[in-house]
Structure 1
Amino acid sequence: MSLPDGTEVDLGPLGRARVVRLLGQGGQGFVHEVRLPHGEALALKWYRPESASAEQFHEMQRLVELGSPHQRFLWPISMARVAGEPSFGYVMRLRDRRYLELSFLLANTDRDGTPLAVSFDAIISICRQLASSFLRLHARGLCYRDISFGNVFFDPATGDVLICDNDNVGVDDGTSRVLGTPFFMAPEVVRDLTFQTLPSTDTDRHSLAVLLFYALFLGHPFEGDRTDDGLRDAAWLLEHFGTDPVFCLHPDRDDNRPSQVVQDYWAIYPRFLQDLFVQAFVAGVDRPGQRVTEGQWMKAMDRLRDGMVRCRCGTTGFWDPAEPRRTCRACGRSLHPDLVLQVGRRTLAVSALATLRSDHLSPGADESVVVGRVRPHPQVEGRWGLQNLSGRAWEATYAAGQRVRLEPDRTMELVDGVRVGVGSSVVTAARTQAA
């Protein structure tokens, strides 16, 4: 049973709180809002008696003691008890209502049925933050075990991510009691009818790749012409997602092509990203060691955003130095930029969508914070400026030797050869040759 409003809950070192209202329920238990005496609100997950085993208590206590890998995880903060009740629970931060379950991205509506307007930049942020978050989790020797739509929430405006239901998390030691969610489980888990193959970091990487494919292409990597036939029963699931999964965009097989929507989105993105998904769902489908790592996904998302440009017709496209002849899907014009910014090994296409970020300045950085933004000249097409959005002044040197100091919130013109010192990094503008 759920806890009545007003019930006093013992949160150990956090003190005592009272139940304010029921927020929801699931198979394992109930989620309540509780308030501490000073007014802070938290979410309480309270287990049903049949789920409140001693093993579950010790696993949750261990997660509390380990602490959260990152603030994106709605991590257990403290265990919770109620006098006279045989069950238990734990508290975590409340999830802000602006965050939607990731399945809303596919439906393209919010909770009220209002159409969403999620930008490519926000989708890239979703993917990068997911990869970064699970990298942090795996670096602690933990695995999530149940990566799926229901456990990931996103802010449609920014792409910021929250990862919920962290009582799925456990040590990557092959002792999991959670197998995962159908359609997201790794093939080796699906096809093992003895249930001896258990979730791990390797199976998390498959589930993460499925989630990223959904976010970018709006479909499942194994669903297509082959899976359209037959009853969607246990035998269908076993064959198409366990014993004989076929990537819907397999480079050497065309018997499982996906919907036109998935194929259209596939064509939007550069070859390097397509190659990663081929690696994930062809080479990596039966060889877990060849699955794409979280760090590889992060680098790919950085490269993808570096090549994001706005065509003169207003359509967002993706240019890449390895494919300089890429064209706009709407009007056919070349997406080749006139200028690029070189930051270390990174090449950032200059366009109205270009931003200079912390991950340019510190390769592999977990956070991706905008520190500068490219601005088009308000009257002259083809002239660009760089606005300093950081809190420190930058020193710029033009090719002729002229030096300027770019104060925060000020903008300087970008021309061929100008070098801008941003912290310990140097950003160089270079004119490109037409594709």
Structure 2
Amino acid sequence: MSLPDGAEVDLGPLGRARVVRLLGQGGQGFVHEVVLGSGEALALKWYRPQSASAGQFHEMQRLVELGSPHPRFLWPIAMARVEGQPSFGYVMRLRDPRYLELSYLLADTDREGRPLSVSFDATIGICRQLASSFLRLHARGMCYRDISFGNVFFDPRTGDVLICDNDNVGVDDGTSRVLGTPLFMAPEVVRDLSLQTLPGTDTDRHSLAVLLFYTLFLGHPFEGARTGGGLRDEGWMLEHFGTEPVFCLHPDREDNRPSSVVQQYWDLYPRFLQDLFVQAFVAGAERPGRRVTEGQWIKAVDRLRDGMVRCRGCATTCFWDVAEPQRVCRACGRPLQPAYLLQVGRRTVAVNPLATLRTDHLASGVDESSVVGRVRAHPQAEGRWGLHNVSARPWEATYAEGQRVRLEPDRTMEIVDGVRVGVDGAVVTAVRTGAV
């Protein structure tokens, strides 16, 4: 049963806390808000007696000792006991109410039923933070085992992510007692009726790919015309998600084509992103070793953001790519190729009003990326562009003729062919494409 308001909880090294209110409950237990003597509020997950096994206590204690791989995980901070109670729990940071469960993205409404307005930039941010977070988790030899809508929350305005229910996490040693959530489980787990195939890093990568597909295309990768009929029972689940899963956008099969919404979003994105999802759900469906890694997803969504452009004809947000220079606007058909590109190492940024220069352009392995420069259109002269320094440091620009200019913070320089800008140890070079 849940703890009464006012109950005192022993948090070990954190001291004692008092139960303030019940926040919610689930199959395993209850979530309360508790307050420390210092006034700091935390969330307490208190297990039901049938879930409060010695094995569960040992696993949670191990997570507390290992520590969080990143603040995006609402990680167990300390174990919790109550005098006279046979059960136990753990405390974690409270989730800010601005974060919504990821399923709200598909519903396109908030908790009160009001329409959501999630930008493409925020959507890409969700994908990047998810991939980066699970990369950090896997790099520590751990796996999540139950990646799904219910465990991921996002800020609709910024795309910032929080990952909850981290008592699913375990060391990737093949001893999992968690199989996952239907529709997100890897095919090899679904089809093993003996329950001997257990989640690990490879199955996490399938679940992550499903979550990213939902986020970008608003549908499930294995649902389409082929799965539309029949009763959604265990047999349906076993066939379509275990023994015979068919990617709805399979390049060689047309018997499971998706809804019009999924198809429209598929056509919106460049070929390199499509190819990655084909790898994830065709080769990766049968061969776990072929699944797309977190690092591959990070590079892909960075490339996607670098090619995000605003159509010069109708202002629709679209995606251009250097490998597909002839891409046109999805709304009016106008060519999308920008007049200039910014090249930073192997990265190519399309110059347009949506373009930014970020810290992940300047150095590899950047997780918490921030904007250091913004592209600005000339207010009077169409076709002229500027790069605005929004960082705290000056930049040095060298023009093709050899002239050097110091660009102070909050100042703008014109983008012209061949100019090279030194930004925090990296060199940004402007290249004219010939497009008008």
Give the CA deviation at 1:405.
1.3
Mapping of residues 103-252 of structure 1, within 5 Å? 103-252=103-252
**Correspondence for 1:54:** 54
CA distance in 1, matches of 2:135, 2:62: 20
Q: Is the 8 A contact 1:67 1:75 kept in 2?
A: yes
The amino acid that maps onto 1:210 is V
**Correspondence for 1:82:** 82
> What's the secondary structure of 1:83's corresponding residue?
coil
CA distance in 2, matches of 1:228, 1:56: 39
The amino acid that maps onto 1:405 is R
Give the CA deviation at 1:415.
1.1
Give the CA deviation at 1:400.
2.0
Q: Is the 8 A contact 1:395 1:405 kept in 2?
A: yes
- Decide which moves more: 308-317 or 144-153: 308-317
Q: Report how many residues are paired.
A: 435
Output the TM-score relative to the length of structure 2: 0.99
> What's the secondary structure of 1:211's corresponding residue?
helix
**Correspondence for 1:341:** 342
Mapping of residues 312-327 of structure 1, within 5 Å? 312=312, 313-327=314-328
CA distance in 1, matches of 2:283, 2:144: 23
**Correspondence for 2:429:** 428
CA distance in 1, matches of 2:2, 2:410: 52
**Correspondence for 1:374:** 375
> What's the secondary structure of 2:18's corresponding residue?
strand
Give the CA deviation at 1:391.
1.4
Give the CA deviation at 1:381.
1.6
Give the CA deviation at 1:364.
3.0
- Measured against aligned partners, the alpha-carbon deviations of 1:143-182 in whole angstroms (never above 9, x if no partner) come to 0000000000000001000000000000111100000000
**Correspondence for 2:29:** 29
CA distance in 1, matches of 2:130, 2:418: 36
CA distance in 2, matches of 1:134, 1:271: 25
- Measured against aligned partners, the alpha-carbon deviations of 1:178-198 in whole angstroms (never above 9, x if no partner) come to 000000000000000000000
- Measured against aligned partners, the alpha-carbon deviations of 1:267-309 in whole angstroms (never above 9, x if no partner) come to 0000000000000000110100000000000000010001000
CA distance in 1, matches of 2:127, 2:15: 37
> What's the secondary structure of 1:23's corresponding residue?
strand
> What's the secondary structure of 1:356's corresponding residue?
strand
Output the TM-score relative to the length of structure 1: 0.99
Q: Is the 8 A contact 1:270 1:319 kept in 2?
A: yes
**Correspondence for 2:255:** 255
The amino acid that maps onto 1:279 is Q
2:383 aligned with 1:354: no
2:228 aligned with 1:264: no
CA distance in 2, matches of 1:49, 1:31: 14
> What's the secondary structure of 1:215's corresponding residue?
helix
The amino acid that maps onto 2:401 is A
Give the CA deviation at 1:367.
2.1
Give the CA deviation at 1:409.
1.7
- Unpaired runs of 5+ residues, structure 2, are none
Give the CA deviation at 1:90.
0.4
The amino acid that maps onto 2:349 is L
> What's the secondary structure of 1:79's corresponding residue?
strand
CA distance in 1, matches of 2:165, 2:430: 45
Give the CA deviation at 1:84.
0.7
CA distance in 2, matches of 1:168, 1:409: 46
The amino acid that maps onto 2:267 is A
CA distance in 2, matches of 1:338, 1:99: 38
**Correspondence for 1:419:** 420
The amino acid that maps onto 2:361 is H
**Correspondence for 2:15:** 15
2:71 aligned with 1:71: yes
CA distance in 2, matches of 1:225, 1:364: 40
> What's the secondary structure of 1:162's corresponding residue?
strand
Q: Is the 8 A contact 1:143 1:200 kept in 2?
A: yes
The amino acid that maps onto 1:418 is V
CA distance in 1, matches of 2:284, 2:75: 30
CA distance in 2, matches of 1:197, 1:260: 35
> What's the secondary structure of 1:281's corresponding residue?
helix
> What's the secondary structure of 1:374's corresponding residue?
strand
Give the CA deviation at 1:316.
0.5
The amino acid that maps onto 2:356 is T
Q: Is the 8 A contact 1:299 1:364 kept in 2?
A: no
CA distance in 2, matches of 1:433, 1:280: 36
**Correspondence for 1:288:** 288
Mapping of residues 86-97 of structure 1, within 5 Å? 86-97=86-97
The amino acid that maps onto 1:100 is L
CA distance in 2, matches of 1:374, 1:104: 32
CA distance in 1, matches of 2:244, 2:109: 34
The amino acid that maps onto 2:200 is S
Give the CA deviation at 1:363.
2.0
CA distance in 2, matches of 1:322, 1:45: 49
> What's the secondary structure of 1:82's corresponding residue?
coil
